[in-house]
Amino acid sequence: MSKLTHLDDKGEARMVDVTDKAATEREARAEATIRMAPETLNMIIEGEHPKGDVLAVARIAGIMAAKKTHDLIPLCHALNLTSVKVELTPGSDGASVHILTRCKLSGQTGVEMEALTAASVAALTLYDMCKAVDRGMEIGSVRLLEKKGGRSGHWVADKA
């Protein structure tokens, strides 16, 4: 097992020093799912939600969250992201929305936390916008799908 990079030799929390690391192309993909009543999903798809285009707002929230990850996660570096994509797809089950995010940059540290934060905040935004009609929504399956670049190379999650 690898040692935890955010702990020093004394076991104290620290920000990882990436000063001497070479900048490389890095990319991460993450996902989340929010389950809801079929009527709630139908309202979203049909554009009948009183708050407007729920999916567009969640997409923007995810993008903004990726850009602000360093403000939310204490030991994350502020990154100069070059691309953030957030896709929201109604589930084939008729009662969920699948969120897929991708973050890219050329830099000294990875973008996994940014992709995960984008997926999480997009899901939370969907919940916030729809809670008046469906408080029983459930956010789940938040996970990293893939990471490319850096010293540890390419990693892909096992199929769920």
State the catalytic residues.
128
E strand map for 10-158: 24-35, 83-90, 96-107, 138-148, 155-156
The verdict on whether residue 75 carries a ligand-binding annotation is yes
The verdict on whether residue 81 carries a ligand-binding annotation is no
The verdict on whether residue 41 carries a ligand-binding annotation is no
The verdict on whether residue 103 carries a ligand-binding annotation is no
Q: Cα separation of 71 and 62, whole Å?
A: 14
Burial of 135 (C-beta count, 10 Å sphere; 0-12/13-18/19+): exposed
The verdict on whether residue 116 carries a ligand-binding annotation is no
Q: Cα separation of 115 and 69, whole Å?
A: 9
Residue list, annotated binding site: 75-77, 113-114
Residue list, annotated binding site for substrate: 75-77, 113-114
